[in-house]
A and B are shown apart, each in its own frame.
Chain A
């Protein structure tokens, strides 16, 4: 159990910065997910936490103790690797027992703890096998078993379920979250899958190009992204972005585009500080904040032509062609529109966002 503080940390590979001035505080006992696309510096951060990479600048503290110069074995962390990194020549039992053996635990303790971990992960019947005889999901459980068999200060999970099939991944999400809550140990979980981060984490740190974009709870990240990049990365299907013009002043501010002109809500006008008025901006709307209809609705709406319908099992995703972009709309499967027909989109203005056209920061 530990509070993890990352303070002004930089990581350089030769001249290339991989992590830029990262600042994070992970509260004791929390489940923190570092989310970002590949190459965003999330794995470098994790490896610096584990002690597998040097920290180019800055400090990492566990409970106010600086651990920059400690070897991995002295940091008391447990890590699950993306490729599991099991010892191929050892049985499952010996794989899980390894951290205890290295700490010279007694044979009785080892037996006790390994069996306990195996029971928790439901792999008791596999203890005599070797990793090559296991399926992907089983290997992953063994890797987790090796991490939880002792009680470390911190768990580091590096995309542990990225290589599992979709069904098993969904199952393991629940299991890992339950496990973390049961053990109560601080966990840092690196992933590129926004769904994993949203569904499991207490806090999410979104990274892009080595920089922390946003820190917050899953709902903050999803509902109040700080910039267009975060908004576009989180959420599936992805948010629609349309470049539009801000018109008017005072109370009557509207977003104007060739296909629509929609007024902002009164509460939102104030958030567009004066500088942004009467310029271009990027409107961001998630597919589920749009309603599609084949007849012109009352009130402001976006006019477009249906491009294609995609059935996603329980939902239907409709792509609508505007003058310069396509927007995706989530609707029900009984939607009757056909490609080529004209349709109208109504925006749920409680849930839309406007981003600066230049640096992409969110006005609201």
Chain B
């Protein structure tokens, strides 16, 4: 099953699936593993697992130093984003405004197993569309600022994407992304954010909300297979898998509820791929029959293409021997993600403009110069 995968992929996956096996790694294996894990932002993840098993003192000291460094960094980021949430709630000063915390910070608030050592730098919030302007105004008044944006980017954000431009408080530097929907309003997948908002649950010990367990897992799947380009995104597949297993442990009927919810929301495709690749890459003990119950499933051509391309994108390139095949797979997935997010008449000018900027980076017109 794993024969098409390169040695360095196996090395990384083995470390993730079986962290206790790391005590047996040779120094050359460690050296390569550390480089690979850094590339896919999983050093903190590995460090947290080794620390939990009290194995950090039983591995080579240079490896332990780099892992500890990554863990310290991850913890600092988690603290910074958590504090940013505290400051945002203070600035909004409105106990009746329902704020839903998404992604990394939500995993942390709920103390999910994938949160330990997880690297994330931004605070993502989901709010009602009608509150967006008021929230933006409150934060701007209390000292947050928009990143300096080009006119083009500003328009892209406000009209075509699903966010207002990121807000940053200059004294703290944490990016606050305020969303009013969970996918591009122009994309092929039309998700009604109201259904997610209605199902949201109170987070542990705070005044904010997080998505319900099913929605949290589905949102992760949508981000992975709908909104992202998948390159070096293994950690999001890990998020998906760990949350799925954690919630399945807690609630015996969780997987059935998840399938039902995906069918209700029309999110069969991203859930299909997430389940499929969790099993293929992470040896997830999920039944093969689970995704068969989805109303919506990708066709066999798409499935075959994805089967070959997705692992090449999710898993890191060998740092010294990048492969051309991987590059092609990643380019295809890059186009796919944009294709899913935008209609062609918007997509082509967008990509043409991005290419133009990559050649002439000085040419972007900035509307707000800091």
Instruction: Please say whether chains A and B are actual partners in one complex.
Output: no
Residue numbers of B with Cβ under 8 A of A are none
